A = this chain, B = another copy of it.
Amino acid sequence: MKVAVGGTFQPLHDGHKLLLRTAYEIDGQVDIGLTSDEMARHARIRNVEPYAMREQRLREWIEKKLGKKPHITKLEDPYGTALTEDYDYIVVSPETYPTALKINELRKEKGLKLITIVRVNYVLAEDGKPISSTRIDSGEIDTHGNLLRKGKHEGSGRDQ
Contact = CB atoms under 8 A, between A and B. Distances in A.
A119 B90 CA distance: 10
Interface string A11-49: 000000010001001100000000000000000000000
> Interface size bucket, A side?
20 to 34
Contacts of A122: 121
A26 B101 contact: yes
B119 A22 contact: yes
B123 A104 contact: no
Contact of A25 (B25, B97, B115, B118): B97
Interface in A104-138: 104, 113-124
A124 B145 CA distance: 14
Q: Interface on chain A toward B: helix, strand, loop, or mixed SS?
A: mixed
Contacts of A97: 22, 25
Contacts of A119: 22, 116-121
A115 B113 CA distance: 10
A116 to B, nearest CB: 4
A104 B104 CA distance: 17
Contacts of A113: 114
A67 B119 CA distance: 23
A114 to B, nearest CB: 4
Interface of A: 18, 22, 25-26, 88, 97-98, 101, 104, 113-124
7 contacts: A18-B121, A22-B119, A26-B101, A114-B116, A117-B117, A118-B121, A119-B121
